[in-house]
Amino acid sequence: MSMKWKTNNLLFIHITRVTAFLILALSIYLFFAGHNNPGGGFIGGLMLATSILLLYLTFDRRKINKMLPMNYANWIGAGILISLLTGLIGTIVGKPYLTQFFDYFTLPFFGEFELTTAVLFDFGIYLGVGGSALIIILAIAEDT
């Protein structure tokens, strides 16, 4: 790593503080859009990784580790578990594994709303992809 990143670039830091959350919001939007439109757990997860990565680029690693004390390997584990256990819902009612269930509900404020088990499955992917992308990039970055 060159010395360049260690200089206190005010503009960069202030823009990052805003942008990181904008990217995070976009990742959540993409995640929910994925059910019927382009998007989904995979892209959303990559976006999530990007937003956290931007923080890593701007502030140094030690600071982020203090701010976000998380073990990204656990994200992968949690993601796999959420996805696979969602699949088991079908087996409880005697349908094959991974069968999807959905229904329409009328919620206050949102109006008619579709709730499906596929979103839960996708959330597992979201976590898993985000976690593994972060692990890979951080491992390579550490290696210098």
- Residues of this chain that interact with another protein (CB under 8 A) are 73-74, 76-78, 80-81, 84-85, 88, 90-91, 95-100
Cβ atoms of 41 and 123 closer than 8 Å: yes
The neighbouring-strand residues paired with 116 are: 102
| 37 contacts 72 by C-beta, under 8 angstroms | no
